[in-house]
Structure 1
């Protein structure tokens, strides 16, 4: 059996997932009461994309051997299958068993990750702390600091990060997070510390890039704008060198969606899922999406479901099923044949679980802008709010942010411009083919006249106006976003026109946006000198 299991594992490692499933089933037929084989089959089915069958197999393993490791595996499978309502009870069961058996720190860390990914930050923090009491690992301490940051405990998060950096001085993610926890002050910052770390050199480019982003952020906070941007350019160049990305392929994909979702396609009769309550906040990142989320949540009637990947997940799964039946169809063609009612039903089921069953909830994944047409068909009673910001301010805010594993277009000015133009064209397309279904909210108007714009947003969502909308949220309010520090401040216009300090260094970005028709070069006073070395 050991030799046979080793062959099955080799199939998985070789990427032969279907063969691994078939082989695994032959193993359990030969040895029908071996939980390790059931667990292997769960892994094989998961790799093959069949999460429901994977759950069935891990249940068989648990029935024979109720080990914590099998239950943890089941919890992650439930998460992947978006059966989120089953996770809390299973998590409590895992924790109780780990307590009684003296489980390792890894078990508590796994449960903490589950809680964290399902918007249960307080429970996640408690489990991270329990894990660290058993084993103090730098990556776990970073996880704890990040959860504290999103939960509003910036001071404790900074303490965690200082402890981490004392043992792992080249932990770039920790250096960067420490810088974004708060606005840095002349009398209280980490500039000298970051420079010293950079001076000793970094073994990994990713860590050096993160440290450079941290230094650029702190220098900007301190008003050292020229040095900040020069540092930012070095950071972006270093980060871009670590990823493989083809912006042309991505923008062509957005164009293909627009071409398929034309006026005729949108006008065609569709049976969607009529359940109300979903509010999608879309746009580019760093455009005020979190501020709108905060204003709505302050009503007391709207919950946060997070930045969900659910809609794209269910749509992609539906498209794959259709294409298996008819491989001749392009993905965009198959999408129009989706069962929109079922797509909407599945989405609402999972999203409500993330929002604890709230009547109204927010899905704040900015990239959902590409699905606006499909959202309209699947969820005709959903509300879509689109944040619009000055093009250069928008792109600059993105360019100066380290997103780690997201928004790969953000590390090169020309690639950023190409993506931004494709996004603008797509949003214009949605307005043309389904007029009146998306509320545009301008960031500049929102921060200069928050009550007027908030009333517009409340009316759009069918909410009675509440003066609480404009209140500064409790410091302990959870916001799982890169803007978590800023969103807890009073509404301000500090970032409006912030890009104007760097018009010469942003000249490649400005020139491409100008040729794309979204701004005029003369509006930004960019001298046509060809120089890009002056901030």
Structure 2
């Protein structure tokens, strides 16, 4: 990297010491070194890059962006610096600027395959597989035949609905690196397996291998469970899934009590008077939030609404949580003694709404009406309504046993940690339902409940009901979500390419014995009756 000379007589900073402090999470030390080195080597591009890294670690993103821009000015033409800028812009939810910076990084990278791969992965971080895919393909064309690169390419093919191409790519991944659990699992997820075409023999051989990495083995077990279920072996499928879930749970650092307490704290803190004290909110229409548990039909409804002219899905955005976090942090900087919940009670609702819309609209290509389909936004429904009173909130509800069964049999990897243990799943479900009942009570009329079972059995009536609530015109295209050509970057990417069907309704009953612990907990909590039907 090119750099300007340091101040005369100043020793060259030992940047490795600073980066080691960052790796070891010694942030006070890292920040002190940053300040020391900036005082003597402010015109050194590597010092500015280090300062940007410190800012990224400590959450001082605007400062980090200023430092990386200074580094670029000091050492122009360096794609790693421009890519770092792109990633900071994305963290700031400045997506249009992110795309411009990522394009500039790709231009500077030329045919450097490692660079193209990294820039493509930045686009996947922006939930944009269409922009990532050509970069992955260019990297492969440049001779960089790496299994990780091919796995990333297969994911973009999967999201685009190109399942045959994805299967071919995954076959090459597993030739190069046979024990890539993500590739094994994705291969089984691509399509419904049949007696004539499946991977059962391979999967059973993998399960029979002696001690293996727990994450890899869990991925194989989930794949085996999926294929057994496709072939009608419900008990065998559940046995594999239960073993895989228990194994995956042991790989996680997860405190269920802390998560449940945080949900309880939201319910206790945000009553109607507390929400009113946040202010009038930002009075701009446009966002449609789809919330609920995962695997409850949220993607189906999103794909239906995305067919309405003038409506565009922005995908599963973390934006509201991030905007709320930034607002809370700003209050805490002014009043350091406040807890996060206390600080959240003192935010400006209108400012929160404006900040959210700024980034979210860019994710939706500037569409006036857009869909934010992040299921866990159910946590913030009251705050969403306070910040954006003209937003529409659609809550997908599914029969409790079916909802929890669908969650339990899905490998989410680094999300939804509550989903791998039946007791933890039942406890989370209970808090979710209690919180949603609370939001309905404190924000009457702001949230429309949509039952999954009604959506798949009486699709047109439910679609009309949803469109009326959202103030959208009727369009017959909503009844054909399988014709939606846009990528779907969720676990449902294969299912949403099929016509609407009700085949999953009541599926939990085929493995009722295995779900006995879950059923007992949900019955005790009052969410189901003795027959397992929802209340």
Report the TM-score when normalising by structure 2. 0.94
Given candidates 146, 153, 159, the residue that maps to 1:144 is 153
Please give the alpha-carbon distance, in whole angstroms, between the structure 2 residues aligned to 1:245 and 1:12: 23
Q: Deviations over 1:59-87 (max 9, x none)?
A: 11111212111111111111111111112
What does 1:32-71 correspond to in 2, within 5 Å? 32-66=42-76, 67-71=78-82
Offset at residue 403 of structure 1 (A): 0.3
Given candidates 169, 181, 185, the residue that maps to 1:172 is 181
Q: Deviations over 1:315-365 (max 9, x none)?
A: 112212222333443322211111111111111010011111011111111
Counterpart for residue 93 of structure 2: 82
Structure-2 change in CA distance of 1:14 and 1:119 (3 Å) = closer
Counterpart for residue 529 of structure 1: none
Counterpart for residue 230 of structure 2: 221
Please give the alpha-carbon distance, in whole angstroms, between the structure 1 residues aligned to 2:233 and 2:430: 30
What does 1:359-398 correspond to in 2, within 5 Å? 359-398=368-407
Please give the alpha-carbon distance, in whole angstroms, between the structure 2 residues aligned to 1:524 and 1:291: 23
Please give the alpha-carbon distance, in whole angstroms, between the structure 2 residues aligned to 1:523 and 1:385: 25
1:113 lines up with 2:133 in the alignment: no
1:493 lines up with 2:502 in the alignment: yes
Please give the alpha-carbon distance, in whole angstroms, between the structure 1 residues aligned to 2:452 and 2:221: 28
Contact 2:276 2:386 in 1 (8 A): no
Given candidates 406, 422, 427, the residue that maps to 2:415 is 406
SS at match of 2:483: coil
Offset at residue 15 of structure 1 (A): 2.3
Offset at residue 388 of structure 1 (A): 0.5
Q: Deviations over 1:249-276 (max 9, x none)?
A: 2111111101111132234472211121
1:25 lines up with 2:35 in the alignment: yes
**Greater mean alpha carbon deviation, residues 475-484 or residues 382-391:** 475-484
Offset at residue 199 of structure 1 (A): 2.2
Counterpart for residue 533 of structure 1: none
SS at match of 1:385: strand
Counterpart for residue 131 of structure 2: 123
1:515 lines up with 2:530 in the alignment: no
Given candidates 91, 107, 115, the residue that maps to 1:96 is 107
SS at match of 2:526: coil
SS at match of 1:521: coil
Structure-2 change in CA distance of 1:57 and 1:268 (3 Å) = closer
1:194 lines up with 2:200 in the alignment: no
What does 1:303-342 correspond to in 2, within 5 Å? 303-342=312-351
**Greater mean alpha carbon deviation, residues 208-217 or residues 427-436:** 427-436
Please give the alpha-carbon distance, in whole angstroms, between the structure 2 residues aligned to 1:98 and 1:522: 61
Structure-2 change in CA distance of 1:342 and 1:475 (3 Å) = closer
Q: Specify every segment of 5 or more residues in structure 2 that has no aligned partner in the other structure, as ranges.
A: 1-10
Contact 2:402 2:506 in 1 (8 A): yes
Structure-2 change in CA distance of 1:2 and 1:192 (3 Å) = farther
Structure-2 change in CA distance of 1:174 and 1:201 (3 Å) = farther
Q: Deviations over 1:182-227 (max 9, x none)?
A: 1111111111111122223453100000000000001001101111
Contact 2:399 2:533 in 1 (8 A): no
1:426 lines up with 2:435 in the alignment: yes
Offset at residue 31 of structure 1 (A): 2.7
Contact 1:314 1:343 in 2 (8 A): yes
Please give the alpha-carbon distance, in whole angstroms, between the structure 1 residues aligned to 2:533 and 2:517: 13
1:239 lines up with 2:248 in the alignment: yes
Please give the alpha-carbon distance, in whole angstroms, between the structure 2 residues aligned to 1:156 and 1:460: 40
State the superposition RMSD in angstroms: 1.6
Q: Deviations over 1:29-50 (max 9, x none)?
A: 3234321111111111111211
Offset at residue 438 of structure 1 (A): 0.2
SS at match of 2:444: coil
Structure-2 change in CA distance of 1:340 and 1:93 (3 Å) = same
Report the TM-score when normalising by structure 1. 0.94
Counterpart for residue 18 of structure 2: 8
Residues paired across the two proteins, number? 522
Counterpart for residue 449 of structure 2: 440
Q: Specify every segment of 5 or more residues in structure 1 that has no aligned partner in the other structure, as ranges.
A: 526-535
Please give the alpha-carbon distance, in whole angstroms, between the structure 1 residues aligned to 2:533 and 2:484: 37
Contact 2:21 2:27 in 1 (8 A): yes
Please give the alpha-carbon distance, in whole angstroms, between the structure 2 residues aligned to 1:313 and 1:365: 13
Please give the alpha-carbon distance, in whole angstroms, between the structure 1 residues aligned to 2:455 and 2:388: 27
Contact 1:392 1:499 in 2 (8 A): yes
Structure-2 change in CA distance of 1:523 and 1:415 (3 Å) = closer
SS at match of 1:182: coil
**Greater mean alpha carbon deviation, residues 202-211 or residues 472-481:** 472-481
Offset at residue 300 of structure 1 (A): 2.4
Contact 1:511 1:521 in 2 (8 A): no
Please give the alpha-carbon distance, in whole angstroms, between the structure 2 residues aligned to 1:521 and 1:138: 50
Counterpart for residue 8 of structure 2: none
